[in-house]
Amino acid sequence: MALYITLCGNIGVGKTTLAGIMAERWRWQLFQESVADHPYLADYYAERSRWALASQLVFLERTFRQQLTITRGDVNAVQERSAAENFMVFGRTLFEEGILARREFGTLSDLYYLLEDAVRPADLLVYLRASEDTLLERIALRGRSYEAGGVDRAYLAALNRSYDRFFAEYQIGPRLEIDMNKLDIALRPADAEEVLRRIAGATGYDPELVLF
């Protein structure tokens, strides 16, 4: 059976970069998180309580759609963010912070648990973790305008706590944590190679079978 790896981690930690590297180097199918065409994302960062549910429903629908494609296919795949991460990290954090109302979170929960059994679990969850200082630095470097005023240290710290809990409670399949504070896979090729080696080792995948 083909391998399916999903990445998780806070905003700016390097999921997009790593997913792209894996897809290019290993010739895997890439399932990216699409934010450029998200119809509610800028509104959400400007007014979270009003647009949180709409924003999360779009993310959940898109990630489940990707996972249905992976489930029905037979190619090695890397996914930038899973439905489980969207719901258990972002949805739950927004509810606990009072940004999502109880009935809104209930709607999100109903949709998630309805679709969860329809998709295959990942062969490996890779958790990319970094401190708030590292995340803020990398977010500033990528310069997304909608993040500039909507992503602050307190928000990233809350998400880091949620990610730690998500990873600790994750029982869907195997998992691997990688500390990204001293690894810059976007600027240092050797760091990217190290991360690829760790992932290959955790899955038993042999990258030597692929011509780089």
In the chain, domain spans = 4-205
Q: Is the domain 4-205 a CATH 3.40.50.300 member?
A: yes
Query: Do 127 and 82 form a contact (C-beta atoms < 8 A)?
Result: no
In this structure, are residues 99 and 63 in contact, taking their beta carbons and an 8 Å threshold? no
Cβ-Cβ contacts under 8 Å for 22 (sequence gap 6 or more): 5, 28, 30, 78, 196, 199
Please report the pLDDT score of residue 211 as a whole number.
Answer: 42
pLDDT of residue 212: 39
Q: Which helix (H) or strand (E) holds 200?
A: helix 189-203
SS3 150: coil
Question: Regarding beta strands 77-79 and 4-9, do their DSSP bridges make them parallel or antiparallel, or are they unpaired?
Answer: parallel
For residue 36, the model assigns a pLDDT of 79
Q: What pLDDT is recorded for position 150?
A: 58
pLDDT value at residue 209: 59
**Could you read off the pLDDT tens digit of each residue along the chain, which spans 212 residues?**
799 999 999 999 999 999 999 999 999 999 998 787 899 988 998 899 999 999 999 999 999 999 999 999 999 999 999 999 999 999 998 999 899 999 999 999 999 999 999 999 999 999 999 999 999 998 887 655 444 555 788 889 989 999 999 999 999 999 999 999 999 999 999 999 999 999 999 999 987 755 43
